[in-house]
Structure 1
Amino acid sequence: MEQVMNVKPLTIEDYPALKEMDTGIEDDYVVRIFDRLITSDSHELFGLFQNGRMLAVGGYSLFGQDKFAMLGRLRSDRRFHMKGNATELLKPVVNQLRRDPRVSWIGANTHLGNLPARRVLEKLGIDQGPIIHYLILKRPDLLTGHTPGPVWNPVHDLKRKRGLLTGLEENSLGTFPYECYYPFPFDEALFTDDYLQVCSFFENPDQSRFVIIKNDTKKYDYSHVKYFWDDHYAQTGLFETILHHWNNNPDNVGCWIDFSDQGFKNIPELTAYDVQEPWILYGSWKKPQL
């Protein structure tokens, strides 16, 4: 008789079972940093088991003072695909998050073309959100079509930084790109003093636009650009400002820029960038308890 599948939080004792999975991912960072993930206060990792074998792994990370839960790190054993294992794994995880009083939003970010993952998220009742294009500016010498100008004015005052964000009246991205690969709803819970302190803010001369640039590491170091309009190429001095940050952080391999679908279409020439397949953000706010 086939043993029933069960989902449980992972511990260091589960490392051999994780290593035995055939995921097809070379140099999987989940395997590399497994010990850190299972001992972290902000990350949780779960496994789906049957007969002592791990069929799937996945979990979530908490952000914004634990208000936002981002599902991720989902891997399945290729020998057991098409069996609904990803849904089976994430269903109790999502139910746990829905019971967690700290968490107000549950979401996931996946490739636009990853139809199996998108079907899983839809089965879990998580709503489809905006499409996001992640481009890495690596060849500034090939930039064309932008509007050159002086570097924008730096903003150092914490109160002014917060005021720029809270006073934002339009947001073409439809998200707040908190980190590389981690966009969230635009929410003040993400704007902690510590976070704003390490972000570099620059404001254009007529104070109609601002850009936020923060050093971030996703395997490599980047200048991560947060710009909330689609007029990158029309804004005088925006790219000079972005490159100014990179020049002051020469260990970064490039400037990671989040573009909306329309912002991406506005780019006249892509040769200056490394272009990823588009991503799509899924997310749902929890309904208030009656």
Structure 2
Amino acid sequence: MMDYSIRTLTFEDIDLYRSMDTGIEDDYVARIFERLTGGRSEMYGLFTDDRLISTAGYTVFAGRYAMLGRLRSDRRYRGRSFATTLMSHVKEEALAQPHIHWVGGNTEEQNTPARKVLANIGLNQQATLQIAAADDVSELANGHTPWQEITEGDRKRSWLRETFLEAGGVFPYECYYPFPATDALFSHENLNTWRFYENATGTRYMLTKIDTKDRSYLHVVYPWNDYDDQPGLWETIASAHVQSEQQLQEPLQVWLDIQEADALPDDHPFELRSRWTLYGQRKA
């Protein structure tokens, strides 16, 4: 391998970033480079002969999770393990922070090079979820009574403990960002902001939260796969969708993270987007 050096990037390195031949048109990383080099995020660059040839970084969520990403490589230098070398460095930098207890990466299932890098730096596959998004789910409602909203914090925590903490599950914390469930994800502020709903028999619940990525979403978390067997579920989602759009005064897409597309009702309105695979490692 050629001689190389690695250092933290700042916003002043934007021109070096743009000079890389990544083959990516309209790269979102370039658009938000300033945000990715400060605050909760860190970016690193691998250089050879003073030329930036690979970048990667991480963003901290809930004060203790470091999600790796922003892996970019100059096409003229690919195939020489630079990306793996840099991502390994970024992983170790994240784990060296005393407040970080988990580090990982979430990538599209078909992105074989990125999955190989994550596996090569010692991260284990933890979950695969498919994104389903729809502009309107009201056609799935068939006249059942919507579920009752939960307002008691203890009841909210009881459901989260049963379905995620005790089950050792992966919680969809934000759109594109699921994490192994710990109490850190379920802060008092989050439980007050997220809206919880429970069916009449007290056997099922769901929660909704508003998230903004490329656009705004009503992110729905439902911990089961029986979407077609629970009276009132779709009525509840449709009602929450309308209320959220009225609150924000803008259109929202409904976002679900599902394990299998077959779990959705026949003739559903969802656009089935990529399946994403989560890799991770807890700090020893």
> TM-score w.r.t. structure 2 length?
0.91
After the TM superposition, which residues 246-261 of structure 1 pair with which residues of structure 2 at under 5 Å, given as runs?
Answer: 246-250=241-245, 251-261=250-260
Identity of aligned residues (%): 37
Look up the match of 1:19. Answer: 18
Q: Secondary structure at the match of 2:87?
A: helix
Report what 1:205 is aligned to.
Answer: 200
Superposed CA deviations along residues 90-130 of structure 1, whole A, max 9, x for unmatched, are: 11111222332221111110111111111111110100121
The answer for the alignment partner of 1:95 in structure 2 is 92
Q: Within 5 Å, which residues of 2 pair with 1:221-232?
A: 221-232=216-227
Compared with structure 1, are the counterparts of its residues 133 and 116 closer, same or farther at alpha carbon in structure 2 (3 Å cutoff)?
Answer: same
State the one-letter code of the partner of 1:195.
N
162-171 vs 104-113, which deviates more? 162-171
For residues 62-112 of structure 1, give each alpha carbon's deviation from its aligned partner in whole angstroms, at most 9, with x where no partner exists. Answer: 1122x2111112111223222222102111111222332221111110111
1:279 to 269, 276, 279: 276
TM-fit CA distance, 1:161: 2.0
| SS across alignment from 2:256 | strand
Give yes or no for the alignment of 1:135 onto 2:113: no
Equivalent residue letter for 1:204: N
Distance 2:52 2:266 in 1: 45
Q: How many residues get paired? A: 280
The DSSP-based 3-state class of the residue aligned with 2:26 is coil
Q: Which residue of 2 aligns with 1:31?
A: 30
Deviation at 1:260, TM superposition (A): 1.4
Q: Which blocks of at least 5 consecutive residues in structure 2 are unaligned?
A: none
Match of residue 191 from structure 1 = 186
Cα distance change of structure 1 residues 148 and 85 upon mapping to structure 2, 3 Å threshold: farther
Q: Give, in whole Å, the separation in 1 of the partners of 2:271 and 2:223.
A: 21
- The root-mean-square deviation of aligned C-alpha atoms, in Å, is 2.2
- Which 4+ residue blocks in structure 1 deviate beyond 4 angstroms? 169-173
Instruction: Give the drift of 1:51.
Output: 1.6
Q: Structure 1: give runs of 5+ residues left out of the alignment.
A: none
TM-score by length of 1: 0.89
Q: Give the C-alpha shift of residue 139 in structure 1.
A: 4.2
Please say if 1:240 is aligned against 2:239: no
Do the aligned partners of 1:220 and 1:252 also contact (CA within 8 Å) in 2? no
1:118 counterpart SS class:
helix
Letter in 2 for 1:15: I
Q: Give the structure 1 partner of residue 80 of structure 2.
A: 83
Deviation at 1:28, TM superposition (A): 2.0
What SS does structure 2 have at the residue aligned with 1:168?
Answer: helix
